[in-house]
Amino acid sequence: MDTPSRRLTRSLTKVESPEQGKKRNLQSKQNFICLDTPTPINVTNPDQKRYGVNIGLRCRMMSSSSNNSPKTQNISKETSEKAAQNCSLKKMKDPIVAESRDQLKGHDEKINKIMMDIRLRQYQIISQQIELKDELRAMQLSVNEKINGFTDELRRKLTGNSTPHVYSSPMVIYTDSAKMKTKEKNSATASVLKRILVNCSAQAKQYGSCVTARVPEVERDMCLKEFLVLKNCMRNVEHVGMSGKASASNHPGFSVSDALSHVYIQYPPLRCTLAGTRSFLYDDGNKLLLGLTSDRVFSWKTAPFNPHVAPSSDPLCEGPVLSIRYSLDLKLLAVQRSNYEVQIWNKQTGDTISQKCRSESESILGFFWADCPTCDIVFVKTSGLDFYSYNPELKSLHLVETKKLNVSWYIYTHESRLVLLASGMQCKSFTGYQLSSAGIIRLPRFEITMAKSEANNKPILAAEDVHIITVYGRIYCLQFDRVAMLLHSYRFYRDAVVQQGSLPIYSNRIAVSVVDNILLVHQVDAKVVIIYDMFAESRTPISAPLPLLLRGFSRASESKELSGPEIIIYGDGWSFLVPDLICDVANGFLWKIHLDLEAISASSSDTPSVLEFLQRRKLEANKAKQLCLAIARTLILERRSLPLVARAIDVLITTYSQAIKTGSHQRRTNTEDASPSGVSNLKSSNTEVDESSRVDASGIKQESARGIENESSNRSTVSASVSDVSVSFETMKMTSHNLDSSSGQTEGGYMVERETSGAQVDASIVQSQILGSGSNALNANASEQLESQVSSATISPADLYRFVFAAIGEEMAGDSSYLVSIIVEFLRSASLEKLKVDPNIYVLIVQLLAREERYEELGLFVLNKIIDPSKEVALQLMESGHQNVQTRKLGLDMLRELSLHHDYVLLLVQDKYYLEALRYARKNKVNTVRPSLFLEAAHASNDSQHLAAVLRFFSDFIPGFKNTSDHHTYCRIVADMNSSIAT
Amino acid sequence: MGLSSGSNASEAVKLCVFDLRRGQNEGQELDKILFFYPADLPFTTQLSVIGLSEGLITFTRIFSPEAACDVIEAEMHSHVFYEAEPDIWMVMVVEKNKESEAMWRIDALRRVLKEVHTLFVMFHGSIRELVDKEPTGGLVRTHLYYFIMDYLSDFFIGKKLHLPNFRDSLKERGTVQMLTVGREVAIDVQSLVRVIESCAENSKCYSLTMFQDLLVSTTLSPDDTVSLFTYAVLRLTPQALSSGVSSWSYLRKGSTACNTSAGAVMANSCPSVDQYYNSGDTSPVGNRSYPVVRPLQNDKWSKGKDGFLVTDIWGAEFGSSIPTSPTIWLKQTEERMYLCAYQLRSLTVILLIPVSSVLNGEQGIAMVKQQILENASLKMFKVEEKLSRGWGGENAYHVSGYRYLLVDGDRYVSRASPPGKVTTLTKDSLVALSNLREEVDSERIRANSDGLSHEKDLEICIRAKNNAWLIARLTRGKELYMVLEKANETLLYASDAVMKFSDRYCNGAFSLE
């Protein structure tokens, strides 16, 4: 495509003076960004009519530029109108936008013209972009150091005032698009331009270089390809900025979008769109998303997350539904119909039980199913808790226990098995119960302190401001203090609730998710998410606040499903489900939140802590492992300072060693040991369960001996201990999603009760081992399969050798001594943890040292046994010792010390020490070396006495030697030699 | 210990260095002499010594151009020859006297000559270069004079030069003594070494780590290791540093037993060079204008506040009181290196940094030192702690019942019974051992001159007059000398004892049969 105006402006740019060019540049930049604002340029666009796309333009630059793109220029008018309508509809919601839309009316042509103009002038920007690119690179390096300051800045900006805010930093730019239209033009311009520069510099450079290369002959479709790439990129960037929509970022070979976000949701979502769905509810006990229609309840399994899972459905009687939950064995369905009534429907028999409360004095706040031995379902009422057990025979509920207290509201998560009951005027006094398989545990009552905005103001704590999270098998309660703008964390121990510190909040609406033991605090208003790793006690975020990214969503797929609703990140319809799901209620989408491990690890320069972080990841263990290996390789290849690399290696080795000690690092031998025969199957099952119980122990070890974890490890039912019962098995649980289904069905059969003994860790381990031995082989096999599928992120020394040292050995040829230093650190780490290392690494050391002819050091390494003696090493020493006799001797000595008599004698003979070899052979009774070798060596030395001696030796010591041809040959030779001497 | 011997020191030992390429014309013979001890000897005497030596060298060269002359054994004297550099000869004349314990092993004396030469070369470069630099010879004479006199000062006991005699038969000059460490500590040491060597950014550094006066690790070539090790034992180790301060005598040293051969004869502060320096006009150093660095000068090193050893031997930078960093030459790479020594209690770490890589001189060195303090001080602390914990004391390498010397000729490493234990041997045994070693030496020289690259195995067992067993065993470059005084009568017993020793302490290197 080439338009007259394009050609015109291009020639214009060429002739204008530098000063003018500057001006135009500025202008174009502004125009480029602020398309929504009216512009005073009165240029008519001759192309406007031809394409008929002007309607779409006033809304969104995206549609206009896509219409301008050569490929889509013939897009139908209907389509664009539709898009335009779509977006004008949206705009109507916003009065300011509506106003500006009115202003815009009649300026379509101008805008269109400007669009064209801009595209043509992009190449003026390019030169700046190229300059800026280097600058950005430099800034990228310093960005990590700036993160702390960055957070403060964010806080100041977001909380300090109500004016619209743009958040920007050298690398990380976030624009709050919802309010963007009302803000000053300049800042917006700068921000988006910056973003474009960040994102599209590569494309821009390509395009720019192409244009500059061909500037003399301006022609049709000049540098079209490069232009398209650049435009595409820019469009995406500004699209995100302008409309608040994430857009396609998966351009081949270009993944900068990853760097802009640490948390993402993957397109496509689980679509729960069914006609007539009234509402969505989440059953976290069974990890089911429930969609209600007038007469049915549809359930989608969310674990494991599969976007294409088909729903199952059950009929549902007409009537209001306040909440709905399946029992944990999925046989019963409980529906809260009103504040006074809960109905329980048996799926198999179709019977319905109705449970009501005294309507005058109390009301039902909610209910949940429990897998505690004494009760099956718990009702939370304003007057307290009712624990019921379900009797399948009588098909009735039986009241087990009642806890009387006033309850204002409650929160419960199934993964923690913890219900928190709020009471008091301000609802800040909490009582907690944990309904574990060991029974019902009452937690100490605790009060939450809240900041007051005024002296006499007594804020009331709302249920949505309190969250229960489980990370690393610990339970925390997070409380959002709206006045102080802080998120307080409380950690639950069995005998205490301890406040743990606070996290800053930058938004009036927040949500909390936990992905792979990482806490995600969504600042919903600011549309950013801050991630924390609660493992360490420090409360500094892992990285800067960054937007949530929509991944894998491309324009192409959108255009295919044009009717599809819009995806709005942090839209109003989003509700966050425990622990890591987002339900877009408006659209019926269910998203799963993922961590972008690459981006997180790329964003920090403190490599050892990045490695620690990655090593703790269980969900994407393999990915984390690969990342760790890649990081280790890069560290070495970039020749980072020795102490840094040493620390990094320490991290890897230490975590591996800990994993070995606690047994959570699965050894392949386990799987190999397990034979399919019945008897040994039982045996292997024992080992497996032992393993899992050791995991538990580790969980406890990290804690003090007290705490809820103890409790939960006491209450293990065998099947459940492997799957998802208790909190302290959280580490295990990450690997056991697959098992959920199977154990869910079989759970009843394997329920083994355990007495709640003291909180002694050892005792509990022993007990669980005993239980393990009684467990069914089938269950254990399941966990075994599972372990072979999901590995942990820990890296064994062997892997470290194979994927790091061996892999880069060749590349480091120029700097062997550096690599040797690294390997020494590796050995130090390994020996500190008493780990065996691959013998090949010693061979590698020998090679590296010999390559640089550092034989003296090599000698020290061998003499001090830093290099573990082995045959491989000895032979390598012999080989490397071709240049250096001492080294060769070391190899020989090593063979001797290893008692490899045959090799030793053979090599001695080869080195012409045949007499010594002979003596040694006699002493150690080596008779595997052919006599002819000795004789040849003696003959070669041209010493008839020696030859005769060797001959005599074999004649005496090897029976029948006298009859061999060797004997005859050499006898003659000796005789010849003697006669020649005599003459 | 024969301290009361009445013989005059200056007559008993003469040491000279001369250059055969100089003074070829008649009347200019004095020009040949680069160094003569005692310096106050009349020139005629000096000339007669050198004339005899030169004559013999010229004569023997006819038959053996490569290795001309080793030794002249006269009735009263032995002349020990050492060709330090082509045509530069060092000759030592010692008096033979059975009464005054003047019984020598020639090779031990030659090793003294060799040692002083390698040390000289390490600090000043080769003699030939110095000779060529200034043809009048003043420069080289000054350097040699101060250097050798400083070196000899360590051998003085009273006014007498005490050269290694038969009592030192279980010692080997020119070797290093190593500390045996376990694997874990060895790895820690290596890790420390790497960190230290990485402190000087991207230049190729070398290091030498010592614990007390024992070598722990080195990245230098064997030759350079020996030279630097010798120097460190003489002047840098904690013992060497403290010896200058405390009142210290040879006798005390003998009983407290230093672990190294060099240690036994070092640091005698009695007659310093300065006596000779002031002793009159006969000194060959007539012209004093040459700036001379005297690395072997006593009591010049001290430990600085930051743990680095400092000395003003190399002078100070102009206009400042900061001493110039010492520099040495490496034989292997022929590079000039800055010497940086850090000492933490018993641990001494010497880092060598190429002069060429340090652009801004002292400032650069200071930066490297800073780096070391930052990156490695914790590691050094830990290593020192571990080494001290594992250190068995001065008698760590004593094997009861045995008096031994173990030499690894390939690596220039030796280990011996602690000197305190060696002194318990009778004079007879020591004299016999000295003779035995003399035999072995000559056997070795013969093998070398035969051009046999093949290392010979050799085993000698001698029953001495006092019924002690003297054993020498050579195998594949390793040597073992042993005195068994309280051994049984049979040879079988003796060889069995050797076998046990070899299996236990030498990884079976000497138990081939």
Give the distance, in angstroms, between the CA of residue A726 and the centroid of all CA atoms in the same chain.
Answer: 23
- Residues 6+ away with beta carbon under 8 Å from A520: A263, A512, A513, A514, A529, A530, A531, A532, A580, A593
Q: Tell me the per-residue pLDDT of A344-357, one tens digit each, with 9 for 90 and over.
A: 888 888 888 888 87
DSSP helix/strand/coil, A736? coil
Q: What pLDDT score does A786 carry?
A: 38
Q: Give the percent of chain A with pLDDT over 90.
A: 1
What confidence tier does B284 reach under pLDDT thresholds 50, 70, 90? very low
* pLDDT higher than threshold 50 for residue A18: no
Alpha-carbon gap, residue A668 to A788, rounded angstroms:
7
A140-146 contact pairs (CB < 8 A, 24+): A140/A170, A140/A171, A141/A605, A142/A170, A143/A169, A143/A170, A143/A171, A143/A172, A143/A544, A143/A603, A144/A603, A144/A604, A144/A605, A144/A606, A145/A605, A146/A170
**Measured between beta carbons, which residues in chain B are less than 8 angstroms from residue A885?**
410
Mean pLDDT computed over every residue of chain A? 68
Q: Count Cβ atoms below 10 Å from residue A572 Cβ, excluding itself.
A: 11
The listed range with the strongest mean pLDDT (A105-119, A137-151, A763-777) is: A105-119
| Eight-class DSSP state of A805 | I
Q: What pLDDT score does A391 carry?
A: 82
Host H or E run for residue B161 = strand B160-161
**Measured between beta carbons, which residues in chain A are less than 8 angstroms from residue B204?**
817
CB of A818 closer than 8 Å to CB of A680: no
| Eight-class DSSP state of A294 | S
Strand pairing report for A518-523 and A510-515:
antiparallel
CB of A581 closer than 8 Å to CB of A593: yes
Q: Determine which of A274-278, B30-34, B332-336 has the lowest per-residue pLDDT on average.
A: A274-278
Q: Is B270 in CB contact (< 8 Å) with chain A?
A: no
Q: Is A940 in CB contact (< 8 Å) with chain B?
A: no
Residue from A653, A819, A828 whose CB has the most chain B CBs within 10 Å, to mutate: A828
Q: Tell me the per-residue pLDDT of A638-652, one tens digit each, with 9 for 90 and over.
A: 888 888 888 899 988
Q: Which residue has the higher pLDDT, A120 or A603?
A: A603
Bridge partners, residue A594, by sequence = A264
- Nearest by Cα to A79 from A53, A117, A106: A53
Q: Is B429 in CB contact (< 8 Å) with chain A?
A: no
Alpha-carbon gap, residue A89 to A83, rounded angstroms:
10
| Exposure letters B436-450 (e unless 16+ CB within 10 A, then b) | bbbebbeebeebeee
* pLDDT higher than threshold 80 for residue A214: no
- Half-sphere exposure in the Cβ direction for A430 (13 Å, CA): 27
Q: Is B443 in CB contact (< 8 Å) with chain A?
A: no
Give the pair of three-digit tokens for residue B92: 């030592």
Q: Distances from the Cα of A279 to the Cαs of A184, A274, A321, A368, A494, in angstroms?
A: 41, 11, 9, 19, 37
DSSP helix/strand/coil, A79? helix
Q: Tell me the per-residue pLDDT of A801-812, one tens digit each, with 9 for 90 and over.
A: 888 888 887 777
- Residues 6+ away with beta carbon under 8 Å from B301: B235, B236, B240, B241, B309, B310, B311, B313
Query: What is the rounded average pLDDT of the residues B443-452?
Result: 74
Q: Which residue has the higher pLDDT, B153 or B99?
A: B153
Q: What pLDDT score does A726 carry?
A: 37
Q: Is A179 in CB contact (< 8 Å) with chain B?
A: no
Between A and B, how many residue pairs show a Cβ–Cβ distance under 8 A?
82
8 Å CB contact of B508 and A832: no
Position B46: which residue type? Q
**Measured between beta carbons, which residues in chain B are less than 8 angstroms from residue A818?**
198
CB of B398 closer than 8 Å to CB of B417: yes
Q: Is A856 in CB contact (< 8 Å) with chain B?
A: yes
CB of A506 closer than 8 Å to CB of A485: yes
Report the residue from B184, B194, B221 with minimal CB separation from A642.
B194
Q: Tell me the per-residue pLDDT of A172-209, one tens digit each, with 9 for 90 and over.
A: 333 333 333 333 334 444 455 556 555 666 666 666 66
Nearest residue of B to residue A641, measured between CA atoms: B198
- Half-sphere exposure in the Cβ direction for A911 (13 Å, CA): 23
Query: What is the rounded average pLDDT of the residues A85-93?
Result: 44
Give the pair of three-digit tokens for residue A374: 């004494």
Give the pair of three-digit tokens for residue B315: 């002078």
**Measured between beta carbons, which residues in chain B are less than 8 angstroms from residue A913?**
454, 476
Q: What pLDDT score does A258 carry?
A: 41
Q: How far is B85 from chain A (nearest CA, A)?
A: 25
* pLDDT higher than threshold 60 for residue B197: yes
Bond prior to A304 in cis (omega within 30° of 0): yes
Strand pairing report for A263-266 and A548-551:
parallel
Q: Is B392 in CB contact (< 8 Å) with chain A?
A: no
Q: What pLDDT score does A228 carry?
A: 61
Alpha-carbon gap, residue A488 to A504, rounded angstroms:
9
Q: What pLDDT score does A112 carry?
A: 60
Q: Distances from the Cα of A796 to the Cαs of A659, A799, A802, in angstroms?
A: 10, 5, 10
Alpha-carbon gap, residue A518 to B453, rounded angstroms:
69
Host H or E run for residue B67 = none
- Nearest by Cα to A473 from A731, A684, A215, A301: A731
* pLDDT higher than threshold 80 for residue A737: no
Report CA torsion sign: A29, A32, A34, A40: positive
CB of B97 closer than 8 Å to CB of B86: no
- Nearest by Cα to A29 from A124, A153, A133, A127: A124
Residues in chain B: 513
Query: What is the rounded average pLDDT of the residues B465-491?
Result: 86
CB of B306 closer than 8 Å to CB of B373: yes
Report the residue from A832, A864, A897 with minimal CB separation from B181.
A864
Alpha-carbon gap, residue A814 to A963, rounded angstroms:
57
Alpha-carbon gap, residue B429 to B486, rounded angstroms:
11
8 Å CB contact of B190 and A866: yes
What confidence tier does A716 reach under pLDDT thresholds 50, 70, 90? very low
Query: What is the rounded average pLDDT of the residues A717-734?
Result: 36
Q: What pLDDT score does B35 carry?
A: 92
Q: What pLDDT score does A129 carry?
A: 53
β-sheet with A323-326: strand ranges across: A323-326, A332-336, A341-346, A352-356
Q: Give the percent of chain A with pLDDT over 70.
A: 59
β-sheet with B347-354: strand ranges across: B214-218, B206-211, B347-354, B336-344, B327-329
CB of A282 closer than 8 Å to CB of A577: yes
Q: Tell me the per-residue pLDDT of B235-276, one tens digit each, with 9 for 90 and over.
A: 898 888 887 544 333 333 333 333 333 333 333 333 334 444
The alpha carbon torsion through A656, A661, A662, A663 (nearest 10 deg) reads 80
Report the residue from B186, B195, B220 with minimal CB separation from A866.
B186
Q: What pLDDT score does B215 carry?
A: 93
8 Å CB contact of B410 and A825: no
Q: For helices A885-897 and A871-880, give the axis angle rounded to 10 degrees.
A: 160
Report the residue from B191, B217, B375 with minimal CB separation from A828.
B191
Query: What is the rounded average pLDDT of the residues B453-467?
Result: 81
Could you report how far apart the first and last alpha carbons of chain A are, in Å? 105
The alpha carbon torsion through A633, A638, A643, A649 (nearest 10 deg) reads 0
Predicted TM-score (pTM) above 0.80: no
Query: What is the rounded average pLDDT of the residues A768-784?
Result: 37
Mean pLDDT computed over every residue of chain B? 82
* pLDDT higher than threshold 70 for residue A770: no
Q: Tell me the per-residue pLDDT of A221-276, one tens digit each, with 9 for 90 and over.
A: 556 666 666 656 655 554 444 333 333 333 333 333 444 788 888 888 888 877 77
What confidence tier does B317 reach under pLDDT thresholds 50, 70, 90? low
Nearest residue of B to residue A886, measured between CA atoms: B410
Q: Determine which of A136-150, A544-558, B24-38, B434-448 has the lowest per-residue pLDDT on average.
A: A136-150
Give the pair of three-digit tokens for residue A658: 């800990």
Alpha-carbon gap, residue B20 to B54, rounded angstroms:
8
8 Å CB contact of B219 and A854: yes
Q: Tell me the per-residue pLDDT of A410-469, one tens digit each, with 9 for 90 and over.
A: 999 888 888 989 988 888 888 888 888 888 888 888 888 887 777 777 778 888 888 888
Q: Is B411 in CB contact (< 8 Å) with chain A?
A: yes
| Eight-class DSSP state of A303 | S
Give the pair of three-digit tokens for residue A310: 């088909």
- Nearest by Cα to A724 from A713, A714, A715, A736: A736
CB of A380 closer than 8 Å to CB of A369: no
Q: Distances from the Cα of A641 to the Cαs of A647, A854, B382, in angstroms?
A: 10, 22, 20
Nearest residue of B to residue A833, measured between CA atoms: B184
